Amino acid sequence: MQKRYIINKKGGHQWIRVMGLSFILFLLFIPPLSAQRMDNIPVHSKYIQAVDEYRPAPGQNVNDMPEYEEGDTEATMVQKCTECLANNNRGFVGLGAYGGYITFHFDHSIANIPGKRDFAIWGNAYQEELGLFPGAGSGEAGIVMVSKDVNKNGLPDDPWYEISGSCDVDSVGKVDYGYEITYHRNPKGKIPWEDNRGNKDSLDRWNMYHPQEYYPEWLPDGLTFKGTRLPRNGWDYSEAVPRSYSHYFWVLFFFAWGYADNQPNELADRVTPNIDGCGIDIGWAVDEQRQPVSLDFIDFVRVYTGLNQKCGWLLDTSTEIIGAEDLHLDASIDAIKKASSRISLIEASTISLEPVYDLQGRKVGKAQLKKGIYIQNKKILILK
Amino acid, res. 159: P
Average pLDDT estimate for 226-234: 98
Cβ neighbours, 10 Å, residue 90: 11
Residue 333 has phi, psi (to 5 degrees) of -65, -40
CA 191 to chain CA mean position, Å: 26
d(CA 53, CA 291) in angstroms, rounded, equals: 26
d(CA 103, CA 175) in angstroms, rounded, equals: 23
Give residue 345's pLDDT band: very low, low, confident or very high (50, 70, 90): low
Q: Is residue 8 part of a domain?
A: no
Q: Which of 161, 375, 172, 160 is nearest to 285 (CA)?
A: 161
Q: Is residue 23 part of a domain?
A: no
Give residue 27's pLDDT band: very low, low, confident or very high (50, 70, 90): very low
Domain range spanning residue 374? 344-384
Same domain, 83 and 110: yes
> Do residues 192 and 200 lie in contact, with contact meaning Cβ atoms separated by under 8 Å?
yes
d(CA 295, CA 328) in angstroms, rounded, equals: 16
DSSP, residue by residue, 283-313: GGEE-TTS-B---SEEEEEEEEE----B-GG
What pLDDT score does 108 carry? 95
d(CA 68, CA 62) in angstroms, rounded, equals: 8
**pLDDT for residue 283 is more than 80:** yes
Which element (helix H / strand E) includes 36?
A: helix 33-36
**pLDDT for residue 37 is more than 50:** no
d(CA 103, CA 157) in angstroms, rounded, equals: 11
Same domain, 294 and 372: no
Q: Is residue 276 part of a domain?
A: yes
d(CA 289, CA 147) in angstroms, rounded, equals: 16
Q: Is residue 313 part of a domain?
A: yes
Q: Is residue 132 part of a domain?
A: yes
**pLDDT for residue 42 is more than 80:** no
Q: Is residue 189 part of a domain?
A: yes
CA atoms within 13 A on the CB side of 259: 30
Same domain, 326 and 355: no
d(CA 46, CA 228) in angstroms, rounded, equals: 29
Average pLDDT along the chain: 87
Average pLDDT estimate for 259-281: 97
Give residue 225's pLDDT band: very low, low, confident or very high (50, 70, 90): very high
Distances (CA, A) of 20 to 26, 128, 384: 11, 59, 10
What is the dihedral angle through the alpha carbons of 193, 194, 197, 203, rounded to the nearest 10 degrees?
A: 20
Q: Is residue 180 part of a domain?
A: yes
Q: Is residue 15 part of a domain?
A: no
Name every residue whose Cβ is closer than 8 Å to that of residue 73 and which is 6 or more positions away in sequence: 218
Residue 23 has phi, psi (to 5 degrees) of -70, -40
User: How many folded domains does the chain comprise?
Assistant: 2
- Which residues are bridge partners to 67 per DSSP? 64
Of the listed ranges 203-212, 275-284, 312-321, 368-377, the one predicted with least confidence:
368-377
User: What pTM was computed for the model?
Assistant: 0.81
Same domain, 153 and 279: yes
Same domain, 156 and 274: yes
Looking at 334, 360, 376, which one is the last position of a domain? 334
Same domain, 142 and 201: yes
Which ranges in 107-181 belong to alpha helices (H)?
A: 167-170
Same domain, 324 and 348: no
Give residue 56's pLDDT band: very low, low, confident or very high (50, 70, 90): very high
**pLDDT for residue 53 is more than 70:** yes
d(CA 381, CA 77) in angstroms, rounded, equals: 41
Same domain, 382 and 319: no
DSSP state of 218: T
What pLDDT score does 39 carry? 43
Q: Which of 39, 135, 66, 125 is nearest to 305 (CA)?
A: 125
Same domain, 348 and 326: no
Same domain, 167 and 121: yes
**pLDDT for residue 207 is more than 80:** yes
Distances (CA, A) of 124 to 91, 185, 260, 265, 318: 11, 28, 10, 7, 11
Contacts of residues 26-32 at CB distance under 8 Å and 24 or more positions apart, as own/partner, are 27/340, 27/343, 28/340, 28/341, 28/343, 30/340, 32/337
Strands 343-346 and 379-383: parallel
Same domain, 141 and 172: yes
Same domain, 191 and 235: yes
